[in-house]
Amino acid sequence: MTFKQSSFKLDYIETKWLGGKYRGWVKKNSSKKYSFVLKCKGDDGKSKILSPYVSFYIDNYSSEQAAKMAIEHHRRRECLRFRLFPTNLYRYVFYKGGLCIEMRLTKGYTCIFDTEYLNKIKQYTWCVSKMTGSYTKYVTAYVKGQKNKLYMQQLLTDFKYKVVDHINRNGLDNRKCNLKDGGNSKNQLNRRMRSDNTSGHNGISWVKKKKDGNLDGQRMVQELQRHLPLNNMELSKKH
């Protein structure tokens, strides 16, 4: 995978790429044995085994921790042999005046988040995904045993909100200052403006005169002035 230098216009790069996760599946078959296998998806979408199953017997090592270290060494060696480079490498960067972490994702993209959340983020393997019909890209992870994807913005807000909104509309920017409660109606107002919008504001459209001569648009203005912080004069001009 060829990565872009960054998905953001960074102020300064503090460190080189660190950490990362190598591919491969490790399973504890019994209290005395671990198994490792390296798989990948082929062009037909089916998984194929690159490196055959290898067993690691705990009794052959000084401790269970030593056996795990041997597995990780084998995992790294096999991944490099098949040119499968680690995912989710991260580095410390300065962005818009603050220190944060930039992490590599799939498809050549990167995301950023606050340094305090690194340990929480490292528990999962993250990738880029996009909802159907949406322009915004989000950072997601698959959790074993769960049907739905885990969204990074929900994890970082401790699942307080049903919908988390990105203030600058960039789903890859998961800094705390860019996340807020995005109840469905609020989130719709912060979405990208539709190409067929005629009012200049999200959620507002003008309707031609009805047979009775009343303008639906005027009634909409009165309702919106009560609920939205829009400029009255600007709405009148649009009407």
Summarised one tens digit per residue, pLDDT across range 28-43 is 988 899 999 998 877 7
* Rounded CA separation 64/33 (Å): 10
What is residue 115's three-state secondary structure? helix
Dihedral, CA of residue 160, residue 165, residue 168 and residue 173, to nearest 10: 60
**How is 124-149 classified by DSSP, letter by letter?**
S-EEEEE-TT---EEEEE--TT-SSP
Report if pTM > 0.85. Answer: no
From the list 129, 113, 93, 103, the residue with the least C-alpha distance to 178 is 113
* Rounded CA separation 144/189 (Å): 34
| Spatial contact of 166 and 153, defined as CB atoms under 8 Å apart | yes
DSSP state of 189: H
pLDDT tens-digit profile, the chain (239 residues): 445 678 999 999 999 999 988 988 898 988 899 999 998 877 777 888 898 899 999 999 999 999 999 999 999 999 999 988 888 999 999 999 999 999 999 888 999 999 999 999 999 999 999 877 778 899 999 998 888 899 999 999 999 988 899 999 999 999 999 999 876 554 555 555 556 666 665 555 555 555 555 445 555 555 555 555 544 444 444 44
CA distances from 131 to 47, 92, 135, 159, 183 (A): 25, 29, 8, 19, 17
* Rounded CA separation 65/84 (Å): 25
* Rounded CA separation 219/224 (Å): 9
List pLDDT tens digits, range 100-139.
999 999 888 999 999 999 999 999 999 999 877 778 899 9
Long-range contacts of the stretch 133-139 (C-beta < 8 A, 24+):
135/192, 136/166, 136/169, 136/170, 136/171, 136/192, 137/109, 137/171, 137/172, 138/171, 138/172, 139/105, 139/111, 139/171, 139/172, 139/174
- 114-137 exposure pattern, b = at least 16 Cβ within 10 A, e = fewer: beebeeebeebebbbbeeeeeeeb
**How is 9-38 classified by DSSP, letter by letter?**
--SEE-S--EEEE---EEEEEETTEEEEEE
